[in-house]
C-alpha cells in the first residue's frame, strides 16, 4: 500500500492517534484539529524519515486558507493508522518562500 493510500484509509477509519506533544502545540499555536487533518489529507509530503522507529514518519505541507502548515506524522503500514507528532506554521527564517525547502545557512 502506498503512503497516500494508507493515509486515506486511516482517515476514513478515523484511525488517528494524537500524541500529547501535538495536542499541546495545537493549543499553544491556536491551530484546529480539522486544519491538521486537512493538511494530512491534501498536503504534499516534503520529507520522509523512513528509518524512524517504530514507524516511518513524514513532514507534510499544506497551504491552508488561513496560513501554511507543517505536520509531522508517522504511519503504521501494517494496520493503517496515523500518529500525529507535531504541528507548526513554517517560519520564513527556516524555510524558503515556498515553505517546502529548508534555507541553507
pLDDT in tens, the chain (105 residues): 789 999 999 999 999 999 999 999 999 999 999 999 999 999 999 999 999 999 999 999 998 767 899 999 999 999 999 999 999 988 877 887 778 777 776
Please state the length of the chain: 105
State how far the alpha carbon of 58 is from the alpha carbons of 3, 6, 7, 66, in Å: 10, 13, 11, 22
**How many Cα atoms are found within 13 Å in the side-chain-facing hemisphere of 104?**
0
The domain containing residue 78 runs over which residues?
Answer: 3-88
The domain that contains 42 carries what CATH number? 3.30.2310
pTM, entire model: 0.90
Identify whether 103 is part of a domain. no
Structural domains of the chain, count: 1
pLDDT 10s digits, 85-94: 999 988 877 8
Amino acid at each position: 500500500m502506498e503512503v497516500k493510500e494508507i493515509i486515506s484509509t486511516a482517515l476514513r477509519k478515523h484511525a488517528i492517534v494524537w500524541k500529547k506533544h501535538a495536542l499541546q502545540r495545537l493549543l499553544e499555536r491556536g491551530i484546529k484539529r480539522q486544519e491538521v487533518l486537512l493538511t494530512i489529507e491534501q498536503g504534499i509530503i516534503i520529507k520522509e524519515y523512513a528509518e524512524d522507529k517504530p514507524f516511518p514518519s513524514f513532514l507534510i505541507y499544506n497551504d491552508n486558507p488561513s496560513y501554511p502548515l507543517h505536520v509531522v506524522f508517522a504511519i503504521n503500514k501494517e494496520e493503517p493508522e496515523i500518529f500525529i507528532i507535531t504541528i507548526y506554521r513554517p517560519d520564513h527564517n527556516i524555510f524558503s518562500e515556498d515553505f517546502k525547502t529548508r534555507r541553507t545557512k
